[in-house]
Amino acid sequence: MNIPPPARTPGAPADATAPLPQTGGMRSSATELGRKYGPWAVVTGASDGIGRAFARALAAAGVNLVLVARRAHELETLARELGAQYPIDCRVLAVDLADRDAMVQLQDCTWELDVGLLVACAGFGSAGPLLDQDPGTETAMVDVNCRAVLQQCWHFSRRFAARGRGGVVLMSSLVAFHGTPWSANYAATKAYVQSLAEALAHEWKSQHVDVIACAPGPVATGFTRRARMQMARADRPQVVAERTLALLGRRHMVRPGTLSRLLGWSLATAPRGLRVAIMGRIMRGMAAPPVGLGSGP
Active site residues: 186, 190
Task: With CA atoms as reference, report the closest residue to 133 among 228, 204, 266.
Answer: 228
- In 3-state terms, what secondary structure has residue 240? helix
- Listing from the earlier edge strand, what are the strands of the sheet with 40-44? 90-94, 64-69, 40-44, 115-120, 166-171, 209-214, 253-254
CA distance 47 to 70: 8
Task: With CA atoms as reference, report the closest residue to 54 among 227, 233, 243.
Answer: 243
Please give the torsion angle defined by the CA atoms of residues 91, 95, 99 and 101, in that order, rounded to the nearest 10 degrees: -40
Question: What is the DSSP pairing of strand 209-214 with strand 166-171?
Answer: parallel
- Residues comprising the chain, all counted: 297
Based on the number of CB atoms within 10 Å of its own CB, is 232 exposed (0-12), middle (13-18) or buried (19 or more)?
exposed
